[in-house]
Structure formats: structure tokens, C-alpha cells
Amino acid sequence: MSRPLPSWNDGPTREAIIDFVSRVTAEGSTDYVPPAERVAVFDNDGTLWAEYPLYVQIYFTLSQVERLAEADPALKAKPAFRALLAHDLKALHGLPKRDVFEPAMAVHAGMTVEEFRATAQAWLAEARHPKYARLFTACIYQPQLELMDHLRRHGFKVFIVTGGGIEFVRTVAERLYGVPPEQVIGSSTRATLELAPATAWVRKLPELGSFDDRAEKPVNIALHIGRRPILAFGNSDGDVAMLRYTLAGEGERLALMLHHDDGEREAAYDRQFLVSPLDEGLDKAAEYGFHMVSMKHDWGRVFA
């Protein structure tokens, strides 16, 4: 028998995960959860792949800003867009996540779902992370791949619930994480159907549908999944509501919060990452019942 979760170091975190999974899957146990109700939700940015110094999708948006500025000059009045145009990542850093993602959602405007995915796919095939000198798609966390596999092998259905654009994450989720598009929930623009003889497509509109962050995550979980998860994994205050919603259900639950405390192998940040801080989540972890995961101590390996 090979050791489960091989990239997780021995210690209370790995033990808590393995213990939780065996308890909810042990038939006859009082903690038993039927397979249909074994729903696990993972945040994406900073939980499944690197988000520091900035989100992958923001680097993608950077590659599109000139085109966007031409298409809609009014965008230049927005602080996040101005910062992007000037490639001023420092200024972006000081803005809230919702503002930072606004130009990212504008990339969709006027595109069909298929066109947007093709554009994102082409960029992701070649674009490299400025800090880790590897493809962005190679900045995914090995321990999380193992955890998602462990859960699936125990009858869990794994969902991604991301503040990032639903289409952007769907472009990679199946290939990188084994999570199919119908199990990705994210921020989205409104869209419209266009019908023509013998063809039909869904076109994205320049209007936000849902910004899937904080309290909106549980609301979208209720809409898309319709079941309260029994395991949730996040890494910032944007995930606090999702973790609390998960824990508030009846029976056994597990809520994990990844702490980026590994400046050597990845990055060390929390409260001061203004785009998406881990602040309340740090202060209230014990009160809320979150299990803090230390990248430095709990992970034997970081990237896949």
C-alpha cells in the first residue's frame, strides 16, 4: 500500500484530512455520509494554483488590455484598467479584488463562450509565471492534486468555487485538476443567445452577472450545486463565508484554510495582500473552526 497524500507531511493537518475522509465513508459509522452528499469545494487562486504577486487571470488580462482600450475607451477611466495599461502591478495591488477583476471580466465582452475559451487557451499554452519561471499552468499545487484525487477515490464530487472568471477557470480545470466544466463555479458576465439558421451560440455581454467572492460563494453553491458541501478549502477572507457555510451544516464537516507562509518555495503573505487578504480568516480560525494549513510545514512539495 502506498502512503496516501504523499506530498503532505506527517502532522495534525494530514491526519485530520485522512481521518475525516475515513469517518464519513465508513459504512455503519455515525459520521457516515452517503456518496451523493460528499461534496467538496475548493477555491482556485491561491488554493489550487499560485495567485501571488497577482492572479493568473490578471496576467492574461494584461495581454488583452490594448485591444480592450481600443474597443471601449471608457475603460481607461477605471483605476484597475489604468494600472493594467501602465503595467503598474504595484497600483493593482492596492485595489480590492472586485475592481481588479473588472477588466478581466471585460475581456469576455462580445465574445462567444467558445471564442473566449480559445483565446484563453492560446495564451495559457505559452504564458509563463514571472516569478516561478514556468508555465502558469505548471504553478498548480501537487498536494492539492493528491487531495482532490483522494477525495474522488472516496466517492466525493469535487467542485471549484472561484472568484476568477468561470470561463477562464473552465479552460484549464479539466486538464489540470480533473474537474469538469459543470463542476466549476465562478464569476460570470451576463450572456445572450444568438440564433441564426443552422447555428446558435451564447455570447457574453459587458455586464457582470455574479462576482463569486465572499457571501456570494455560498449563494452560488446553493444555486449551482444545491447541496451544502461537507469539505471546503480556501486561502483568503474571500473564502471565509464558504467555509463557515460548510461547517454550519449538520454532521461531520471539514474546513481548511491554506496559509501562504513559505517565502522560500512559494510566497509568504496574508494580511498585507490587499487584493485578497487573509485577515479575518487568521484571527477567527479557532472561533470558526477552520483548520489552518501551513504551506511551509504541511506540504513536503509545493508545485506539481
Pairing, β 184-196 against β 199-210: antiparallel
Closest Cα to residue 304, out of 183, 178, 180, 181? 178
Among 11, 12, 180, 251, binds a second copy (CB under 8 A): 180
**Contact stretch for a second copy (CB under 8 A) within 99-107, 144-152, 192-200, 255-263:** 192-200
Q: From residue 28 to residue 47, what is the string marking binding to a second copy with x (rule CB under 8 A)?
A: --------x--x--------
Q: Which residues of 27-40 are buried (b: 16+ CB within 10 A; e: fewer)?
A: eeeeeebeeebbbb
H or E stretch at 265: none
How far apart CA 198 and CA 139 sit, in angstroms, is 41
Closest Cα to residue 161, out of 108, 225, 113? 225
Among 13, 188, 236, 276, binds a second copy (CB under 8 A): 188
Q: From residue 230 to residue 259, what is the string marking binding to a second copy with x (rule CB under 8 A)?
A: -----------x--xx-xx-----------
* Nearest CB to a second copy, comparing residues 92 and 166: 166
How far apart CA 82 and CA 89 sit, in angstroms, is 11
* Nearest CB to a second copy, comparing residues 255 and 278: 255
* Nearest CB to a second copy, comparing residues 39 and 124: 39
For 233, phi then psi, to 5°, come to -135, 125
User: Distance between alpha carbon 181 and the CA centroid of its chain, in Å?
Assistant: 13
Asked if 118 is part of the footprint of a second copy (rule: CB under 8 A), the reply reads no
How far apart CA 51 and CA 139 sit, in angstroms, is 9
The least CB distance from residue 145 to a second copy, in Å, is 18
**Per-residue 3-state assignment (H helix, E strand, C coil) for 37-71:** HCEEEECCECCCECCCCCCHHHHHHHCCHHHHHHH
Among 225, 268, 292, 304, binds a second copy (CB under 8 A): 225
Among 4, 79, 155, 181, binds a second copy (CB under 8 A): 181
**Contact stretch for a second copy (CB under 8 A) within 3-11, 92-100, 201-209, 251-259:** 201-209
Asked if 183 is part of the footprint of a second copy (rule: CB under 8 A), the reply reads yes
Radius of gyration of the chain (CA): 19
How far apart CA 290 and CA 292 sit, in angstroms, is 6
Among 182, 207, 280, 283, binds a second copy (CB under 8 A): 182
Asked if 132 is part of the footprint of a second copy (rule: CB under 8 A), the reply reads no
Asked if 286 is part of the footprint of a second copy (rule: CB under 8 A), the reply reads no
How far apart CA 63 and CA 154 sit, in angstroms, is 40
Among 43, 167, 212, 239, binds a second copy (CB under 8 A): 167
Sheet holding 184-196, edge to edge: 199-210, 184-196, 157-165, 39-42, 231-234, 254-259, 291-294
* Nearest CB to a second copy, comparing residues 192 and 272: 192
The least CB distance from residue 66 to a second copy, in Å, is 28
Binding stretches for a second copy (CB under 8 A):
36, 39, 113, 157, 159, 166-167, 170, 174, 180-184, 188, 191-193, 195, 198-202, 209, 215-216, 218-219, 221-227, 241, 244-245, 247-248
